[in-house]
Amino acid sequence: MSAEEKKALEALIFQLADDDFLFSYRGSEWLGLAPHIEEDVASSSITQDSMGHAAMYYKLLEDLGLGKADDLAHLRPAQERKNSVLTERVNGDGYYMDTPQYDWAYTVVRSYFYTQAKRAKINSLRESSYEPLRDIAVKVSMELYYHVMHWKLWFEQLLSSTEEAKSKMVSALKLVVDDMGDLFSYGEQKELIERFDLIDSEEKIQNNWLEALRPTFEKLKLDLPIIPEPKLNGRNGQHTDELQTAIDTLSEVYRLDTATNW
């Protein structure tokens, strides 16, 4: 593998790893707070699967010589993170140890859009030029099948429910779409990542995502979302303060003793 190809590969895997890591961290904050007990079981299960996916990507980076997987997950400062801004956003007002006022509609829309975008990327990674990514994609695909089904169901149900539910979902849609500018972006590494057939182009992935949403949106008589230009691009290390707070919290125990086997 050439030095350039390795650089492209590392850039892509960091984006995939950090996306799943932050997405599942935000999911884990719902533990014990979901709307009902069955949902608590379901969303925790999805969160656990997604954390497993992130762990596998970090392990791949470890195998590429970039340091210990656990260190990559816990110790990198915010400006080195490559996750999309959408995945780092808080679940709503308040702190989960105090009086959380989390927004379930927001979580449903974010999770559905993110998971469907992950589906588009995983489908493409099944044809990646890099074999370990192809293997991971096949495995993730089987678990993702159930995740997409779950979030799509919530999305359709809440948007065809009461007026109150609908208005909360419409506000959530706006918030989510506003942050989606960098979700399909490969950032400054776009040209490099696309050159080596590691994954399809940004445009193709985004288009496949839209096509996957289309039947649901037509059924619900909604206009398909229009992705804005990114205000901040997480792929280039640009983030909100919400990411720093998340990292401080999630790595608190790990930083107490980085040599211990947790």
* Shortest separation between residue 255's beta carbon and other proteins, angstroms: 22
Among 16, 17, 69, 140, binds other proteins (CB under 8 A): 140
Q: Burial-class residue 117 by CB neighbours within 10 Å (0-12, 13-18, 19+).
A: buried
| Contact status: 73 vs other proteins (CB under 8 A) | no
Task: Supply the minimum distance, in Å, between the C-beta of residue 167 and other proteins.
Answer: 28
Please tell me whether residue 62 binds other proteins under the rule CB under 8 A: no
136 binds other proteins (CB under 8 A): yes
Pattern 147-176, binding to other proteins, x per CB under 8 A? --xx--------------------------
Whole-number minimum distance, CB 225 to other proteins, in Å? 25
Total binding residues for other proteins by CB under 8 A?
28
Say which DSSP state 83 is in: -
CB of 54 vs other proteins, minimal distance in Å = 9
Q: In 3D, which of 182, 162, 60, 183 has the Cα closest to residue 111?
A: 183
Quote the least distance from Cβ 52 to other proteins, whole Å. 3
Nearer to other proteins, 139 or 214 (CB): 139
DSSP conformation letters of 150-206: HHHHHHHHHHTS-HHHHHHHHHHHHHHHHTGGGTT--GGGHHHHHHTTSS--HHHHH
- The answer to whether the beta carbons of residues 102 and 194 sit under 8 Å apart is no
β-sheet bridge partners, residue 102? 92
User: Tokens standing for 21?
Assistant: 């890591």
* 39-58 residues near other proteins, rule: CB under 8 A: 41-46, 48-53, 55-56
The count of other CB atoms within 10 Å of the CB of residue 146 is: 12
Measured in residues, the chain has a length of: 262
Site residues for other proteins per CB under 8 A: 38, 41-46, 48-53, 55-56, 135-136, 138-146, 149-150
